[in-house]
Amino acid sequence: MYDLHVHSSYSDGDASVEQIVKKAKEVGLKVVAIVDHSIEHRFGLNERKARKRQEEIDKFASKYDIEVLSGIECGIKADGEIVLPKFKFDLVLASIHDFLYAEEYYHRIVECLKYNDFDILAHLHSTMFGSLNGRNLERDLEIIDLLVDRDVALEVNTAHSAPPIDFLELLDMNVKGRVRYSIGSDSHSIKRIGDVSWGFEVARKYLKNGRFVLEL
Ligand SMILES: [Zn+2]
Ligand SMILES: [Zn+2]
């Protein structure tokens, strides 16, 4: 199993890199991605912290003999903008962290997909940060087309229970496995690391012909 969305104490998570890597090994993960919030937050992962975190990742990945990826989660701001520190990450995630009306929610996601290079669209239509006044089928289909065209993976996020099942059904019906996917617990504490079983269940059912985001 893999958990490609875990926050560390380099942003707003509780656990150190060593604690995360040790726990990931204990629960039998093959790969864990440490993904901290980007610099749109004061507490986010700037260039200096990214370099320091990478040193720890390399050290503890070899100590505990497990694959550990270095990732970042960028908030999608107005007009789809994301901000990244200067650093070469293994995985760049993008997601909405604001309470928005549907029109603005879709606008940000679509613009972000069109104009930025990133790897994973995280917790789409989250129950925590979803659009406030419902969904729009046409705009959902536009997102699905862009995921295919831009080869961006869709994350199944077990903390946010996102995307909702009806979105996954729509995806399955329309692109039949042409979208890559990722699975993440979005854990901010040590106890949820590897809490991904809902994600794998969903992937088996709705994303069964899709490719995983990593070549494993
Ligand atoms: Zn998030
Ligand atoms: Zn997150």
Q: How far is the CA of 157 from the centre of ligand 2 (A)?
A: 9
Q: How far is the CA of 176 from the centre of ligand 2 (A)?
A: 27
Q: Considering only CA atoms, which of 132, 69, 82 is closest in space to residue 106?
A: 132
Domain ranges of the chain: 2-206
Q: How far is the CA of 201 from the centre of ligand 2 (A)?
A: 20
Contact 1, 8 (CB under 8 A): no
- Chain centroid offset of residue 40 CA: 16
Element of type H or E holding 10: none
Contact 191, 158 (CB under 8 A): no
Residues 6+ apart with CB under 8 A from 76: 82, 94, 95, 96, 97, 108, 109, 112
- At residue 176, the pLDDT reads 78
Q: How far is the CA of 120 from the centre of ligand 1 (A)?
A: 11
Q: How far is the CA of 96 from the centre of ligand 1 (A)?
A: 7
Torsion of CA 126, 92, 204, 195, to 10 degrees: -70
Q: How far is the CA of 52 from the centre of ligand 1 (A)?
A: 22
Contact 187, 157 (CB under 8 A): no
Residue-wise pLDDT for 171-189, tens only, equals 999 987 789 999 999 999 9
Buried/exposed 114-147: b ≥16 CB within 10 Å, e otherwise: eebebbbbbbbbbeebbbeeebeeebbebbbebb
Neighbours of ion ligand 2 (CB under 5 A): 73, 186
**Average per-residue pLDDT in the chain?**
95
Closest-lying ligand to the alpha carbon of 97? 1
Q: How far is the CA of 139 from the centre of ligand 2 (A)?
A: 24
Query: Which conformational region is residue 98 in: left (phi greater than 0), alpha (psi within -120 to 50 degrees), or beta?
Result: beta
- At residue 178, the pLDDT reads 86
Q: How far is the CA of 195 from the centre of ligand 2 (A)?
A: 14
Residue 57 pLDDT class (50, 70, 90 cuts): very high
Closest-lying ligand to the alpha carbon of 188? 2
- At residue 104, the pLDDT reads 94
Q: How far is the CA of 37 from the centre of ligand 2 (A)?
A: 7
Residue 63 pLDDT class (50, 70, 90 cuts): very high
Query: Which conformational region is residue 151 in: left (phi greater than 0), alpha (psi within -120 to 50 degrees), or beta?
Result: left
Q: How far is the CA of 151 from the centre of ligand 1 (A)?
A: 20
Q: How far is the CA of 145 from the centre of ligand 2 (A)?
A: 24
Confirm or reject CATH 3.50.50.60 for domain 2-206, answering yes or no: no
Measuring CA to CA, how many Å separate 140 from each of 114, 143, 196, 202?
A: 14, 5, 25, 18
